[in-house]
Amino acid sequence: MKTTNIYINGMACISPQESLDKSQFLEVAIEHTGNQLSCIEPKYKDFIPPMQARRMSRILKMCNVAAQISLKDAGVEKPDAIEIATGLGCMADSEKFLKSIIDNGEEMLTPTAFIQSTHNTIGGQLALALGVNNQNFTFSHNDLSFEHALLDSLMLIRENEARNVLLGGADEITENTHIIKEKLGLLKMNAGSNFDILTDETSGTIEGEGASFFVLSPDKANSCYGKLTDLSFGYKPTDMADLEKGIIKLLSKHNLKIEDLSLVISGYNGDQQNDEIFKTLGARLFKSTPQAYYKHLCGDYMTSSAFSLWLAARIMKEQKIPKIINLNEIGQGPINHIFIHNQASNNNHSFILLSKC
Amino acid sequence: MNELIDKLKGEIIEQLNLEDIEPEDIDAADPLFGDGLGLDSIDALELIVLLEKEYGLKIDDPKKGKEIFHSINTLAEYIQKNQ
């Protein structure tokens, strides 16, 4: 791929925090109790006409609003492409449709839930709302869904196929998937405050949801939040040294060393086994680097890495690290490079390097 | 008849998720599609299912659909005649 600078010119995030509020940046973090962090939703009527909103499930409304705000933020009316990441798609409508199949003995099924239940409904609805007839892709690759949508966006821009790409990552909590996750032992059963996930020594995580949207472009706008310097993946590292070697190699591609990183954001989710990798890296490779975590704010879901990119971009623009995400006490200097590391079960690792505009 | 009309208004609002619309906002003589309530083809499918599920009525001749679903009044008349 060609080396083209790619900027985040606009973004918006709906999450279990007041992330749409531009007047403050996680100064007042919202505390949730239990293993489920639901989004703080905007007044949809302010953004979507009622006759359109009536057929939209929560995830569709969240995406519509986040997309609108991010485009406005970037000063873009119509993007050249839409790239959506979602682990589970429009699950609420899928559940509704499946339930109606059972309840009605496979007869008299209503069309709306069926039509809206597919993974690519989000991208389709956005295309209709924005009048975009160009590339419209949806990536559903479990915990790497967002990174793959991001990769495709970067490739589109580098290959000069698009100048403004609307990229989004979204997932929603639904009653049945929550029960299934509990039964699979993926969630903490006696979770207290979301702020205590790192001190809670039980297994499992806390479930979250959200919709984070970005407008990416090779043209730097006045609204620019940060430059996407690199995105890379790691698959089943043989050991910690192998993982560290990969990170060092990625940084060296950009003439950077560990000491050049202003902040490392890691995907701690409160599960002891999952977090062991982050703890070890934090104590070795990043021992002298300011470190942060974020899933206590948004919960864990397949596209939560989109929240981490929103968080990093906002930190970069504001040159300020919110206290609520600090993992260590290492003093903060000018913020030039933020490294985001996410992983699931030590199988799939993703690394995003965001630099100052 | 009036009772059936009121019941239909409530069912249509619920089934089609017509946010911000109350039964008294709907004029039973107004067209359901186009200028009136502004329903579309997906709503038509929802109404066909509603008719079958709630009133046990199937529309055998699709050509009559336009006439039956013209307004709440025409729909109520069809139900009353055929139930």
Q: Domain for residue A2, yes or no?
A: no
Q: Please indicate whether, in this complex, the C-beta atoms of A104 and B53 are within 8 angstroms of each other.
A: yes
Tokens of A82: 């839409």
User: Which candidate, A97, A77, A174, A84, places its Cα nearest to that of A125?
Assistant: A84
Of A182, A217, A252, the one marking the end of a domain is A217
For residues A247 and A330, state if they share a domain.
yes
Tokens of A152: 């495709």
Contacts A51 to B, Cβ<8 Å: 38
Q: Please indicate whether, in this complex, the C-beta atoms of A110 and B17 are within 8 angstroms of each other.
A: no
**What is the 8-class DSSP label of residue A327?**
-
Q: Does A184 touch chain B (CB under 8 A)?
A: no
Domain that residue A335 falls in: 227-355
For residues A97 and A28, state if they share a domain.
yes
Of A154, A182, A217, the one marking the end of a domain is A217
Residue B38 sits in a domain of what CATH number? 1.10.1200.10
Tell me the H-state helices in chain A. Answer: 50-53, 58-74, 91-103, 111-115, 121-130, 145-158, 175-183, 240-252, 272-283, 295-298, 304-318
For residues A303 and A239, state if they share a domain.
yes
Contacts B17 to A, Cβ<8 Å: 54-55
Contacts A115 to B, Cβ<8 Å: 42
Residue A319 sits in a domain of what CATH number? 3.40.47.10
C-alpha distances (whole Å) from A165 to each of A7, A251, A341 are 10, 26, 23
For residues A333 and A267, state if they share a domain.
yes
Contacts A54 to B, Cβ<8 Å: 16-19
Of A160, A184, A217, the one marking the end of a domain is A217
Domain that residue B32 falls in: 2-82
Among B20, B42, B52, the residue with its CB nearest the CB of A111 is: B42
Among B19, B45, B53, the residue with its CB nearest the CB of A54 is: B19
Residue B73 parent element (H or E): helix B72-82
Q: Domain for residue A180, yes or no?
A: yes
Q: Please indicate whether, in this complex, the C-beta atoms of B16 and A54 are within 8 angstroms of each other.
A: yes
The one-letter amino acid code at B72 reads I
Give chain B's domain count. 1
Q: What is the dihedral of CA A83, A88, A92, A96, to 10 degrees?
A: 120
User: Which candidate, A190, A155, A145, A187, places its Cα nearest to that of A309?
Assistant: A145
Coil, helix or strand at residue A214: strand
Report the DSSP beta bridge partners of residue A217.
A7
| Exposure of A65 in the CB half-sphere (CA atoms within 13 A) | 24
* pLDDT tens-digit profile, chain A (357 residues): 457 899 999 999 999 999 999 999 999 999 999 999 999 999 999 999 888 888 899 999 999 999 999 999 999 999 999 999 999 999 999 999 999 999 989 888 888 888 889 999 999 999 999 999 999 999 999 999 999 999 999 999 999 999 999 999 999 999 999 999 999 999 999 999 999 999 988 899 999 999 999 999 999 999 999 999 999 999 999 999 999 999 999 999 999 999 999 999 999 999 999 999 999 999 999 999 999 999 999 999 999 999 999 999 999 999 999 999 999 988 778 999 999 999 988 999 999 999 999
